[in-house]
Structure 1
């Protein structure tokens, strides 16, 4: 089947459905119970006088470099002895709370008030807590001993007993969770690296699921496994380039995005660059190359990185020391990929680096990449499920009878991923009789 009947039918669908009201099915699918909107990946709970100018700020920067959204209070949400409700809300809006117990932690009412809220959020399965003992003995915190006990006793004497008991309970519960003792690490950098990697792993489990993210994975298991094997099962430690090839709309970019999110935490620097062709035509190839390299170097200030054909020696040396992950989406000319990442055996990047290029041209990929994966069309049952997920969201299991029959017919016309999605966009919120007219 060619594109022309499909495009013609899309236009017909649009004309038929343009003025239609919402159907009861789709309205039901759109409704959901209210819940807290997650705005941050991690919330940092710490004693400012102990770690703000050192460990906590360095940890925040390390997390941000990995693309992790962090909330670190700059004391603007604290007033006197009371903690702002807005600050407590930030904890609730985070996936993970990182608690940094330090020597002066227990003499701060703000720290322990935050800890009580963290303990409350910990009761929900979606909120993870990671305790760290920074220059503080874990036993002193867990059992309220030594200087930690003395500081806490001074603090609780200023407040009512009920509040102090909530603090004590939160301290006991959270300090006994699995965490890290800074005394067990040779340097702060080593500890920070461990924390960052653990948070990256936790985020894979604690990120809220939605029908959109579920839809992304439909039919992707086999594809994902095959491409990951090409990326990971490599005999040589040098840079390895994998091409993802297929017709437009078949799911190349989606597959690359899933892989990028799956493995990006294993690299020193990462860049996913969308629409290489479009951006290079708009801003020039040198601009695209400089954007990619500045991202993997984690140096946004480095705007000018050489000419089209020449990289400065200091830039080449920095790149050769970094294990990077780069995805070039829609790179359709050899000149584009060679300019950005060099030829496949140029050793521009550090050992273990991985580069993924998506393109419709198999010959270009075979020239530029060590291995090429050809994306196959979705199976009919996967296309059917994908359409229902896009059109009806969490209620897709309830779609049966005449609705389901019509969906199968639409999928039969749609053919593959992108057209399934476009049909959904046109038929979403339409009544059954209008689906029949379009069919």
Structure 2
């Protein structure tokens, strides 16, 4: 394995800590080491530091475990490092881990010359003189070898005039000269120390950047996400703010989370705010803003005066920030956090916003709709693979035997990741009969767990929008838009409602027809059943028509029974509140009851009521006679009977 492969293996391994710091407490605990530790933690880099003031003669097992459970060891060689047997034992264990390809070691030579450490000269020679009488030759040799090995590694050298990141076995040394006015003493961090801290943090962050184990863990069990990551990163590289849009259960949050984890180490500060809509609903926008700025300013849990943020925003302006606002429902949620972001977000900062509402993202991002990434459903192969991952894990034999029923279940989910994952997990380790049973059950009653996720978009609609969505779900899916408009546009707002439903990813328009995902349709059916004001299932319609109940009839507003070829009669509709009655194609209808239409008084008064109703019934009789004639003479067609 070459060095690059070895580093990649270490960086992608699952460890509790990213960094272990080995240091001599009396030299740097209150100065350089404390500032380095704080900077690593504030950048989201999990770091272990043994902050006990008193140490025993032997290194503890807990400390050894901490070293083993870290990807990097930062060894801070200071003047008195070698005077501590504890530090030297730590170093021996660290070098052993490195030689076993289990850890990356980074030395920092803090006001000591690397050659003194390598050859044990100066203060390091003095330390060994004192230790020689108390320790065996074998232990002394282990310490010397560890110091020599570590001093030949690439690391940082800081002195009173400069620091550098160097490969000490190479003749090439890159120096960063920084003039200072005061010596590096005491608890206050100097300009030289501050620069070195930034250098170390940025180096480690860069190493972790593309190989974060959290990213690897997040991507486990995900299918088809790599292209979406590439597409989103391409957008981010060209713009400070991008949006992710799509219906519920599609994976907007997951995509944002993977990108966030993959790149957050490149930034000076970061914040991922989940479920913004729900947080505002439960706790209010002030709580949300406190949480947001608390994370960005590394003051989480502390009170922040939101009315006086000028100084804090000035600090943020000088930082490169990564921000994710997840599930924004309206523009006010964005404005409570980022209304004046152009003042305090610099050009290197990036913002990702997820929403189910395309119009909200348009308002936030501006004219360039190309900066809104519309997440797509999985194709058939991706959907099948995702389902298999959760339903059958790695059982290849089971995959081959369950292909047919698996495809039926995948077809039911129609490429929606949430549905595929829920179904797969539910069926894992179950017998094939259970799979068949669930499939039959789903055709009658969909799973509530993913319907509730989809219903969040519906809950954000107003009354008119909800009604038109339910009408499309129950009656008009797949119908031409103009045809549906003729029926439902009773107040002139149909077009704007359709725009809202499209923007909220509840419907689509394909070749002029209104379409929606099967699971959204079933969600609409589930809601409509609870409201009990729509009839679209044959047995329910037959029940109402046969019962002829006044209560059922009074609520009828639209009656569309077109092409009901076995329909022979209708109930008494004189008590109904009809706006529309469609019976074309009802070739068995032989009689028509009294009928009352909504707003009939607009066209009928006491003087002409009998005349209007006479003409209506006469027209219905002609229609019935025509249908009878068609039944007796199948060769006749409408063209022959125009006159």
Contact 2:44–2:265 (CA under 8 A) maintained in structure 1: no
- Name the structure 2 match of 1:10: none
1:248 and 2:248 aligned: yes
Inter-partner Cα distance in structure 2 for 1:290 and 1:87: 37
> Can you list the C-alpha shifts for 1:47-71, whole angstroms capped at 9, x where unaligned?
1111111111111000110111111
SS at match of 2:52: coil
Inter-partner Cα distance in structure 2 for 1:266 and 1:203: 9
| Structure 1 residue 145, shift from structure 2 partner | 2.6
Which is worse superposed, 260-269 or 404-413? 404-413
Change (3 A) 1:295 1:118: same
Contact 1:273–1:329 (CA under 8 A) maintained in structure 2: yes
- Name the structure 1 match of 2:223: 218
SS at match of 1:347: helix
Inter-partner Cα distance in structure 2 for 1:114 and 1:194: 24
Change (3 A) 1:343 1:76: closer
> Can you list the C-alpha shifts for 1:261-284, whole angstroms capped at 9, x where unaligned?
222223332110000000011110
Inter-partner Cα distance in structure 2 for 1:217 and 1:431: 25
- Name the structure 2 match of 1:326: 323
- Name the structure 1 match of 2:39: 62
Change (3 A) 1:350 1:109: same
Q: How does 1:148-297 map to 2 (within 5 A)?
A: 148-183=124-159, 184-185=162-163, 186=178, 187-204=192-209, 212-215=217-220, 218-234=223-239, 240-297=240-297
- Name the structure 2 match of 1:359: 355
> Can you list the C-alpha shifts for 1:233-274, whole angstroms capped at 9, x where unaligned?
24xxxxx22111111111111111122122222333211000
- Name the structure 1 match of 2:381: 381
Which is worse superposed, 186-195 or 120-129? 120-129
| Structure 1 residue 357, shift from structure 2 partner | 0.6
- Name the structure 2 match of 1:411: 410
Change (3 A) 1:230 1:329: same
340, 343, 347: which is aligned to 2:343? 347
Contact 1:127–1:206 (CA under 8 A) maintained in structure 2: no
1:134 and 2:133 aligned: no
Which is worse superposed, 152-161 or 403-412? 403-412
Inter-partner Cα distance in structure 2 for 1:325 and 1:207: 16
Which is worse superposed, 204-213 or 311-320? 204-213
Contact 1:200–1:265 (CA under 8 A) maintained in structure 2: yes
| Structure 1 residue 347, shift from structure 2 partner | 3.0
Q: Structure 1 stretches of 5 or more lacking a match?
A: 1-35, 235-239
Change (3 A) 1:359 1:121: same
| Structure 1 residue 143, shift from structure 2 partner | 2.6
SS at match of 2:352: strand
> Can you list the C-alpha shifts for 1:204-229, whole angstroms capped at 9, x where unaligned?
57655898434265322221122112
26, 31, 40: which is aligned to 2:17? 40
SS at match of 1:286: helix
Q: Which has the higher contact order (CA 8 A, sep 6+)?
A: 1
Change (3 A) 1:351 1:205: closer
Q: How many residues matched?
A: 393
SS at match of 1:78: coil
- Name the structure 2 match of 1:144: 120
Inter-partner Cα distance in structure 2 for 1:431 and 1:402: 12
Contact 1:289–1:339 (CA under 8 A) maintained in structure 2: yes
| Structure 1 residue 109, shift from structure 2 partner | 0.7
Contact 1:65–1:298 (CA under 8 A) maintained in structure 2: yes
Inter-partner Cα distance in structure 2 for 1:409 and 1:161: 73
Q: Structure 2 stretches of 5 or more lacking a match?
A: 1-12, 164-177, 179-191, 440-643
- Name the structure 2 match of 1:87: 63
| Structure 1 residue 46, shift from structure 2 partner | 0.7
Q: TM-score, normalised by structure 2?
A: 0.57
Inter-partner Cα distance in structure 2 for 1:327 and 1:143: 50
SS at match of 2:376: coil
Inter-partner Cα distance in structure 2 for 1:171 and 1:397: 52
Inter-partner Cα distance in structure 2 for 1:401 and 1:209: 32
Contact 1:105–1:111 (CA under 8 A) maintained in structure 2: yes
| Structure 1 residue 319, shift from structure 2 partner | 3.8
- Name the structure 1 match of 2:548: none
> Can you list the C-alpha shifts for 1:179-214, whole angstroms capped at 9, x where unaligned?
111234331111111211222233357655898434
56, 59, 74: which is aligned to 2:51? 74
SS at match of 1:83: coil
Change (3 A) 1:211 1:39: closer
Change (3 A) 1:207 1:347: closer
Q: TM-score, normalised by structure 1?
A: 0.81
Aligned residues: CA RMSD: 2.7
